Each structure stands twice: as structure tokens, then as C-alpha cells.
Amino acid sequence: MRNFKVTIRYNGTAYHGWQRQNNSLAVQQVFEQALSSLLEQETTVNGCSRTDAGVHARQFVLNFSTDSTISCRGIVFAMNSRLPDDIGVISCEEAPEDFHARYDCTGKEYEYIIHNSEYKDPFLKDTAYRSWYPIDEKKLDRAAKDFIGEHDFKAFCCTDCDKENTVRRIDRFDVRREGELVIFTVSGNGFLYNMVRIMVGTLLFINEGKLPENAIPQILQSLDRTKAGRTVPPQGLYLNKVFYPSISKEECLQQQADLK
């Protein structure tokens, strides 16, 4: 059997997240249907992560096994012709037999985009969260640095989170402005359910004066979800990059820069 590693991107607006659902349309279901049609056999794929309903992905890695003789180039072009316009295949390569998109993943990077304007932009509908309240991105960039390091993020995950271990490591958290867009970029070795959206919501509370600028260390220590900020909507969230042992974060960032 051949094991293929495939990288895709998608606009998550029309989907109930990545993972296959019984009662809602998910990206995995759509991808597997197209792939099974191409290979003429039922094929299941392993995704690198679960994304919430409405969340997007610029780089999402999956893998699947098949005895088909199809080439990587054939998979890319054939799948892009079969998939809807809101899902696209970026690349495909053969991987070792034991490669698993989820279990071999060593880290992820997310971006959250806020359209910070009093006026609506119809071209950002479903791809950014609009907030009219003026955002001090420099203040939030300073506050975001308190998330960096290894901490127990129990206060920054949904109360429905079923993970026994809520300790995660954040390697980077930056906040910057590009015109009317304020972009939150965070990377780490793993993320809990709604963790990024709650971290961003907490920073917005700091921006609005509902929490002091130095509040994050105390909230982390409290392990209490009620001490943190709100959960911001999903449409501004993007799974931006996925990291694996075969390629360093620095190499991945350089590859992204070379594509620009």
C-alpha cells in the first residue's frame, strides 16, 4: 500500500468543521467522496486536526493509503477538478507507510483576523470578524506575550473540553495591524477546543478595559474559564501552518515566504 501526504486549503463557511459528522456536512466527508470516486474504492483519510464549524484552513495536512498506481500530480489535478471551489489541493507526496497526519504533527500555527472598522466590508463576509471598537494592537501584542511558554490552559478552553491534560506550549503570539485588519498569530505544540478563540477574546477584553493588561498570568493560574474573556466567532480563525519533524518551523516559514 502507498501512503500519500496531501496538503489542502479550504474556506470553512459552508462546513461543520473538518471531521465527518452524522447530521452536518464536513470537509472530510466531501474530500473522501471525491477521493473515493477518483480511486474507485472507498477511501478514508486522516486529518491533522479538527477545526470548528466556520473555521478556515490555509494549510491542512491529511494522509491516506491506497494500492492505486495514480501519481501525485494526478491526485492534485484530479481532486481539484472534483472538489467544490471552497476546497483546494495544494500538494501531494508519497510518505512513509507509518506517517500519520495527526499523530506525527509537532505543532500548528493559527491566525485570527479582525476587521477593525465602523463600516462593513462585504468582501470580508465570513472570512473575518468585524469589531468597530478601536483596537490598540501594540498594547495587545505586549499582553499576548504572557501566553508564551508551557502553561495549563484550562481557563482558556471550552467547558465541554474532554482533555484530561490541558497543558500546552505556546511558542509565539504576535498581534499586528495591516490597515483595517488586526491579525493575531499564535503557534504552539497543540491547542485545546476553542483555545485560540478564547485567547483572542481575552485580549479583546484587555483592549476594552474589562481586564487589566497584566491579567493573563493570573487567569492561567486560576484554571477558571469564567476568569477569561469571551469566545470570539469562528469566521476569523484560520489554521495557518502545520509542522512536522521532517521540516523545521524555520524552513516552513521560508517556504511560505518564497511563495509570496
- Which of the residues are catalytic? 52
- DSSP E strands, 80-180: 87-95, 107-115, 129-130, 149-152, 167-178
- Which residues are within 8 A (CB) of 159 and not within 5 positions of it... i.e. 6 or more apart? 225
- CA 180, CA 196: separation in Å to the nearest integer? 21
The interaxial angle of helices 27-39 and 72-82, nearest 10 deg, is 120
Identify the three-state secondary structure at position 187.
Answer: strand
Q: Are strands 167-178 and 149-152 parallel, antiparallel or unpaired?
A: antiparallel
Nearest Cα to Cα of residue 179 among 117, 227, 257 = 117
Nearest Cα residue to 171 out of 246, 257, 243: 243
Alpha carbon distance 134, 151 (integer Å): 30
